[in-house]
Amino acid sequence: MKVVVTKNLNIRVGAPSVNAHCYNYLTQGTTIEVEDKPVRGDFYDGINLWYKGLDDSYYWSGGITSSSTLIPTENKQSFNWFIELGIETIWKTYKEQGENVSVALLDTGYNILNADLFPAIKDQEVIINYPDTPICNNINDFDGHGTRCLSIIGARNLYQYNIGIAPKCQLLVGKISCEMELIDPNSILTGIKWAIENKADVISISFGHVFDNQDQQSDFQNTLKEIVAGKNVLIFASAGNNIRSDPAFGENYPASFPECISVGATNNGVFDNTTLRSIFTIIHAPGINIESYDLTNKPTPESGTSFSTPIVAAIVALGISYSRRIHGNWKPNDILNKLYNTGTPLFDNRKLINPLEFFKQL
């Protein structure tokens, strides 16, 4: 793709590193051709994404901009997964875009330079602490995972794309990881507690953990029970991804705890083996080639239960907001039962969510 240099920029050779050999620089306004997807490299000024040129040169992303710059327009593009779920029909038929609900995302933070996201943030919290990597101890997203999940839930859709399912919800962002490393599973518990204290109705978690022993697992679950006891909140967590080509069975926590709702992935309406199979995973949503904002503010596809989870969380958030507006309140079990009962059968007791039928029952 073509990008434009926004400030004088060194050309690095052989590696995305500030220590790589530099043989020249580009002046502001220069147009160059680079590969579409950025790569991770050295941090510079808080940014560790670089673009690789067609000649093994590397360019720091903080000094260039692409044609994916967000442009306000009334004619917006909706992607296949968005159309499949009937989101625009819900907006128009029920006059509902999430005005009366708060959704918390516990993930890798978010891209603070994305103008379709930062207006949506009600509150944010850095829950992790990296003593050896202090640059990670801020809300900015250095991986892109959190930015993707957040944009699916509540991007404001102010520009040329419809990405956010609940574009008027209030968003809470808790950073529990830097670059997808979960250094302490208890950060999930701290994040859930923080989200509830800040009045989240829905919590979305696309992270998981497998405990070393039963004692650790029991301690985690007991604390989780204490945190959520008596709280009017729904927690959705990704079932986890299967890296094998054939079906794989296993548990991913907190998704497989009864205090959470485990979410699996489908592809074109069919269960996808990307999903780690568990008896606790009965709710599913599209999860293959889901377009969402990457760190360059460009909608690009990614796959996995990580992206099915915010889809379900956001649709439920729309349902809660609608119930609150029409009925004055909402009950977690009532919402979940309607979500499941209106779903399309897959196999066994698994269901694919059907948002339009779900809304008819609200």
Is the per-residue pLDDT at 67 higher than 60?
A: no
Distance CA 41, CA 26 (A): 19
Domain match, 247 and 312 both? yes
Concatenating the DSSP letter of every residue in 54-102 gives TTSEEEEGGGEEETT-----SS-EE-HHHHHTTHHHHHHHH--SSTT-E
CATH of the domain at 32: 2.30.30
Is the per-residue pLDDT at 340 higher than 90?
A: yes
Domain match, 93 and 224 both? yes
71 found inside a domain: no
Is the per-residue pLDDT at 37 higher than 90?
A: no
Query: Residue 190: CB partners within 8 Å, gap ≥ 6?
Result: 127, 176
Helix ranges (H only) for the chain are 80-84, 87-94, 145-154, 186-197, 214-228, 305-327, 332-341, 355-360
Choose the weakest-confidence range: 33-37, 139-143, 323-327.
Answer: 33-37
For 350, the token pair is 């698994």
Q: Mean pLDDT highest for which of 34-38, 65-69, 211-215, 337-341?
A: 337-341
Cα diameter, the chain:
66
Is the per-residue pLDDT at 88 higher than 60?
A: yes
For 243, the token pair is 């890296």
174 vs 31, which has greater pLDDT? 174
pLDDT of res. 66: 62
Averaged pLDDT score across all residues of the chain: 92
Choose the weakest-confidence range: 7-11, 320-324, 353-357.
Answer: 7-11
Domain match, 59 and 137 both? no
Q: What is the mean pLDDT of residues 110-129?
A: 92
pLDDT of res. 248: 82
The residue out of 66, 85, 111 marking a domain boundary is: 66
Domain match, 56 and 177 both? no
pLDDT of res. 69: 65
Domain match, 201 and 309 both? yes
Domain match, 57 and 83 both? no
pLDDT of res. 132: 83
* Tally of residues, the chain: 362
pLDDT of res. 44: 86
Domain match, 53 and 135 both? no
pTM for this predicted structure: 0.86
**CA distances in angstroms from 134 to 126, 138, 179, 217, listed in the order given:** 12, 8, 13, 29
Q: What percent of the chain has pLDDT over 70?
A: 99
144 vs 64, which has greater pLDDT? 144
249 vs 204, which has greater pLDDT? 204
Q: Name the band, by pLDDT with cuts 50, 70 and 90, for residue 68.
A: low
Compute, in degrees rounded to 10, the torsion defined by CA atoms 141, 126, 310, 166. -90
Distance CA 127, CA 230 (A): 24
Domain match, 7 and 106 both? no
Domain match, 117 and 251 both? yes
52 found inside a domain: yes
CATH of the domain at 325: 3.40.50.200
Q: How many domains is the chain built from? A: 2
Q: What is the mean pLDDT of residues 14-24?
A: 91
pLDDT of res. 236: 98
Q: Name the band, by pLDDT with cuts 50, 70 and 90, for residue 295.
A: confident
Q: What is the mean pLDDT of residues 235-244?
A: 91
**CA distances in angstroms from 180 to 121, 194, 259, 274, listed in the order given:** 21, 20, 23, 18
362 vs 6, which has greater pLDDT? 362
Print the domain residue range for 50. Answer: 2-66
Q: Name the band, by pLDDT with cuts 50, 70 and 90, for residue 71.
A: confident
Contact 250, 273 (CB under 8 A): no
